Amino acid sequence: MTGITISREGQAARLSLSRGKALNAMTREMCEESLAALLAWRSDDSIAMVMIDHAGERGFCAGGDVAAVRRSVVEGDGIEGRAFFLAEYRLNHLLFAYPKPVVTFMDGVTMGGGVGISLPAKFRVATENTLFAMPEGAIGLFPDAGAGYTFARLPGRLGQFLALTGARLDGGECLWAGLATHYLESAVLEDAKARIAEQPEHAEAILDELSASPPPARLAGNAENIARHFASDRLEEILASLAADDGKWAGKELAAVSSKCPTTSKVALRLLAEGAQRDDFAEEMAREYAIVSRMITRPDFAEGVRAVLIDKDKAPRWNPARPEDVSDEMLDALFAPLPEDERWTPAVI
């Protein structure tokens, strides 16, 4: 069993993540099976829409199986780890370019790779259970799976804030930020899915009708602080801005940013700055793949996964440990294109 349940109801095809014990963390096999299904449905005239959700009661998708990626690098040559990201990014890109409407139900934990399969969808449904984040900085990686493109387009430097802090948003905050298109109570989700399957051409109207009023977005109250303190594309300047503010919120976010891998944070800021100018999502995925192929081989990645997921001591030892020691030359090497025969390419069309 790969962890994906593929089904069809009416004119809607359905991908349900079903690896509940692992909070539906995506594996290479799950990505590849999803890719194959989407490619088949794309040319099937009897399929009008695709729904992505999760089976069971646990979170939508906690991300990619980074522990397996770490084992690939620590115990081997990293080939399997790179193969995972190749498949994952192909899935992200196919969803972004998909010719039929896709609706994702972000009912529960939606992090990392879960964000990557949610944000490309035309309709993105948050609920009272949604817990949205890109926490890669805590494990020595960077917000990927297309975040260099999608986060770069969020207003008010919100993307930079999410990338550097790993902040967790609830469903109301996701709707306020434009990360979700609709907010529904989880109790009506099955009704929504059944009605969409029956009348996919009316999906938007169905979601509109079933929408509920979300709780106030707490994040909205700090929008001005976020825009001001995260205005720079230089990590040192963001840290200095937060440090100069003696308010409680600034102190909390200063601690959050300072705890993350400095190299990761600088990669994220540069990626979003470039992504804001990038029109081609495939080009974004190629750039992210080149970076992640190198980032997973750095000691920071193995150390971050150890500290968060294996030993769980939450005390990673980053190298370099200070932002000022992460040079532009180091970043240039991480961002350099891969050799032609190693580069990311889209799924076979």
Distance CA 323, CA 320 (A): 7
Polymer length of the chain: 349
pLDDT greater than 70 at residue 216: yes
Digit-coded pLDDT (tens) for 184-195: 999 999 999 999
Q: Which pLDDT score is estimated for 249?
A: 97
122 pLDDT higher than 90: yes
Phi-psi region of 346 (alpha: psi -120 to 50; beta: other; left: phi over 0): beta
Helix pair 248-259, 158-165: axis angle to 10 deg: 60
d(Cα 102, Cα 235) in Å, to the nearest integer? Answer: 36
Q: Which residues are catalytic?
A: 64, 113, 136, 144
pLDDT category, 318, cuts 50, 70, 90? very high
State what percent of residues in the chain have pLDDT above 90: 90
| Strand boundaries in 102-217, DSSP class E | 102-106, 109-111, 123-126, 131-133, 182-183
Model confidence at 279: pLDDT above 60: yes
Q: Which CATH architecture has domain 4-342?
A: Alpha-Beta Complex (3.90)
Rounded CA gap, 323 and 151, in Å? Answer: 22
pLDDT-above-70 percentage for the chain: 99
Distance CA 38, CA 49 (A): 10
Q: What is the pLDDT of residue 1?
A: 53
- Residue-level pLDDT at 64: 83
Tens of pLDDT, residue by residue over 244-258, are 999 999 999 999 999
> Residue 8 in 3-state DSSP?
strand
Residue 349: per-residue pLDDT: 59
- CA distances 31 to 21, 25, 347, Å, are 18, 10, 11
Question: Domain residue spans in the chain?
Answer: 4-342
What is the mean predicted confidence (pLDDT) over 93-109? 97
The residue type of 98 is: Y
* Residue 23 scores a pLDDT above 90: no
What is d(CA 219, CA 297) in angstroms, rounded to the nearest whole number?
35
Mean pLDDT score of the chain: 95
Nearest to 117 by CA among 137, 101, 96, 132: 96
